[in-house]
Amino acid sequence: MSRDFTPKVITANALIEGDVIYFTADNAWTRHLCEAEVLTDEADADLRLLQAQAQPHLTVGVYLADVAPGATGPEPTHFREDFRRKGPSNLFHGKQADGLAHVQARAGD
Amino acid sequence: MYHYNDFDAAFVAERNRQFRAQVERRIDGSLTEDEFKPLRLMNGLYLQLHAYMLRVAIPYGSLDAAKLRQLAYLAERFDKGYGHFTTRTNIQYNWPTLSDVPDMLDALAEVEMHAIQTSGNTIRNVTSDHFAGAAADEIEDPRPVAELIRQWSTDHPEFQFLPRKFKIAVIASDTDRAVMKSHDVGLRIVERDGERGFEVWIGGGMGRTPMVAKRLRDFLPRADLLPYLEAILATYNRIGRRDNKYKARVKITVHENGLDEIRAQVEDEFPRRRAVFGGEDQALLAEITGAFAPPAFKTSDPAPYFAARDADPVFRAWSDTNVTPHRAPGYGSVTISLKAHGATPGDASADQMRLVADLGETYGHNDIRATHAQNLVLPHVPLADIPAVHAALKTLGLATGNIGLASDIIACPGMDYCALATARSIPVAQGIATRLEELKIEHEVGHLQIKISGCINACGHHHVGHIGILGLDRAGVENYQITLGGDPSETTAIGTRTGPGFAYDEIVPAIERLIFAYLGLRQSEEETFLEAFNRIGMAPFKAALYDAEARAYAAE
């Protein structure tokens, strides 16, 4: 018996900056998990993974990561993906700092 | 301090030129990641959780002011203003971009540094005693031999694709300050019948199968070192397992074949290797040894040091833990703690690095060391100048007096940075150190080494911690196993697991219970945690860990 397919997003690291990126519905890459495309069908996920892997000049290490639906978009289900989304816990660096800039930039729109 | 000759400089420049072109070809799409990955790893460039990480070798931990200032420059120019000193006496930059790395490597080459063989299945950065050249108990400075091994092993064509990575440490005293017996090969310089040579140890290591090294040779004549190392490496290259990454280290080769069989094969290979060494290596070693000539030690009156100890209790407490006796009269070795309570073990800001560089230059004969315990050392400071050094260190949060105490914790980067990690280590170290500071008990507790790894690979040396902590992923939740009784010194021992692990928010209280249990169990203030554990065994510590937990549940 096959296990139920859990929702997933496609994630990788950016080739130049090395930071965490997510694949969007319009075939682009975003720095923000909340903007990622959520895949709920296994066959669709496999196809989208192939499409995402077809951009090796932008990415390194493309893979599917589990998520759960949340109020503001997909939420990580494993703590490793939560750290990848946020950044290190000892210093306010990485996504959490970049994300603050992102939110501030959006507020200024 | 060894300085590059024309050959070294040309070699590093050529490697940097090659890597710059490789990075360009990766970015323009000519190289796939599969093709590029082994090339970047050969140059110390990892891709971690949030960014690239560049691991720069500090050979046998030796620095001078120019090198340390350049490391500070890299931190500021290409990173977020800091660097992380590791248990292999390397420094890691956590946030470089791929396109900046060639410039970083060129900047390192300006001060005779590189990142070659800080990754990959090669001979890694050779480590040594951080008090080399200063320790009262050493028979000679082990760094010339370490430098000879660095030159021999760098880009050695036969040993670029070993079954797995290979780590070598060299010491020259009975006291082991370099965790020598946890290395693939450990060398101890010894004297027999008036002749200097090496005790050769093999097959030590940590990781998922921790082993204490075994003695391969009681005495290896000095001139036989490189051919004998070649015989060891050639044997390992031939029979080391390549079918299973977890059984590929030489410790497993020794374990599976037996020490006698390994020795027989090494001794069989040795004459062929010996025959091709015509003495050039010994001429080179003599030249290198000249570069490590001891500084011109001054005679100065140590009275200001003792006056400061009498007048200032803070200075006295700091110097009790952070100043080590020196072989030269009137001198001391100053260990600079990168373990301020609540700080990230091993992290130093660019400003802190520049201050240490200045102090090394002004007071310390321009000699600075990085230690495997993630601290820095000024090995040669006149006692009379140490109060001034301490006062300067205080200005940038570098005057924590905790060397060898419970908050002098080794911690790997863990899941805050490392792609291999299964749990965080840094916040656990921060939590323990902060709690110890709140309780103000670590001076009462005395010598206690806590070591934390965020995965089974054991970069945080947890197996040899008096208290070891291993962070794991148990069903999607961070969980921390405790081991007790590990010993990184010359009486090397692997710690024993206490039992079930603890959740992230339970691990700091669990360590606190262990420490209080020890205070209640010790026979005297002189009996250390490790001595108490070795005397009375696991049971009372286990009771402190788990019975208290059971009581807490019962009380709920």
Residue of A nearest to B422 (CA): A80
Q: How confident is the model at residue B270 (pLDDT cuts 50, 70, 90)?
A: very high
pTM of the model: 0.95
pLDDT digit string, tens, across residues B209-237: 999 999 999 999 999 999 999 999 999 99
> Among residues B402, B467, B468, which one has the least CA distance to residue B440?
B402
Task: Look at residue B293 and give its three-state secondary structure.
Answer: coil
With CA atoms as reference, the chain A residue closest to B98 would be: A16
Which residues in chain B have their CB less than 8 angstroms from residue A88's CB?
Answer: 50, 416-417, 426
Which 3-state string (H, E, C) describes B98-116? HHHHHHHHHHHHHCCCCCC
d(CA B185, CA B237): 14
Which CATH architecture fits B303-394? Alpha-Beta Complex (3.90)
Q: CA of B374, closest CA in chain A: separation in Å?
A: 17
Q: Which tens digits make up the pLDDT trace of B406-436?
A: 999 999 999 999 999 999 999 999 999 999 9
Residue B97 contacts A where some CB pair is shorter than 8 Å: yes
Q: Which residues contact A17 (CB under 8 A, 6 or more apart)?
A: B51, B97, B98
Of the pLDDT bands very low, low, confident and very high (cuts 50, 70, 90), residue A105 is low
In this complex, is the C-beta atom of B424 within 8 Å of any C-beta atom belonging to chain A?
A: yes
| The token pair that represents B206 in the structure block | 């940590």
Chain B: residue whose CA lies nearest to A60:
B33
Q: Which of B381, B298, B370 is nearest to B338 (CA)?
A: B370
Confidence of residue B550 (pLDDT cuts 50, 70, 90): low
Residues of CATH 3.90.480.20 domain(s) within chain B? Answer: 6-110, 303-394
Chain A partners within 8 Å of B30 (Cβ): none
| pLDDT at residue A103, as a whole number | 57
Handedness of CA B135, B138, B139, B143 (dihedral sign): negative
Q: What's the confidence (pLDDT) of residue A109?
A: 44
Sequence-ordered list of residues with C-beta below 8 angstroms from that of B265, at least 6 positions apart, any chain? B235, B239, B257
Say whether residue B476 is in contact with chain A using an 8 A CB cutoff. Answer: yes
Mean pLDDT of chain B: 96
> Percentage of chain B with pLDDT > 70?
98
Per-residue pLDDT band for A107 (boundaries 50, 70, 90) equals: low
User: Minimal Cα distance from B96: which residue of A?
Assistant: A17
Write the pLDDT tens digit of every residue in B506-535.
999 999 999 999 999 999 999 999 999 999
> What pLDDT is stored for residue A58 in this prediction?
95
Sequence letter at residue B308: A
- CATH 3.30.413.10 boundaries in chain B: 142-291, 410-555
Judge whether residue B495 has pLDDT over 80: yes
Looking at 3.30.413.10, 3.40.50.300, 3.30.70.260, 3.40.720.10, the CATH number of the domain B410-555 comes to 3.30.413.10
Q: Is the pLDDT of residue A106 over 60?
A: no
pLDDT at B253 over 80: yes
Per-residue pLDDT at B323: 98
Distance from CA of B188 to the nearest CA of A (A): 38
The two three-digit tokens of residue B151, written as one number? 């030159």
Nearest to B97 among A16, A88, A93 (CB): A16
Contact A79 B415 (CB under 8 A): yes
Would the CB atoms of B426 and A83 count as touching at under 8 Å? no
The whole-angstrom distance between residue B193's C-alpha and the CA centroid of its chain comes to: 33
Token duo for residue B213: 């090294």
B26/A90 Cβ within 8 A: no
The confidence band for B551, taking pLDDT boundaries of 50, 70 and 90, is: low
Question: How many beta-carbon pairs under 8 angstroms link A with B?
Answer: 73
Which burial class, exposed, middle or buried, applies to B6 when counting CB atoms under 10 A from its CB (0-12, 13-18, 19+)? exposed
CATH topology of domain B142-291: Sulfite Reductase Hemoprotein; domain 1 (3.30.413)
Report yes or no: B156 and B90 within 8 Å, Cβ to Cβ. no
Q: Which residues of A touch B348 (CB under 8 A)?
A: none
Q: Kindly identify which residue of chain A lies nearest to residue B46, measuring between CA atoms.
A: A18
pLDDT mean over B124-137: 96
B317 touches chain A (CB under 8 A): no
B34 interfaces chain A, CB cutoff of 8 Å = no
Q: Tell me the residues of chain A between 4 and 43 that have a Cβ less than 8 Å away from chain B.
A: 13, 15-20
Residue B190 forms contact with A (CB below 8 Å): no
Residue A1 has pLDDT above 50, yes or no: no
User: Any chain B CB within 8 A of the CB of A63?
Assistant: no
Q: Which residue has the tokens 């210093």?
A: A91
Please give the class, per CATH, of domain B6-110: alpha beta
pLDDT for the residue numbered A98: 81
Q: What is the Cα–Cα distance from B123 to B120, expressed in whole angstroms?
A: 8
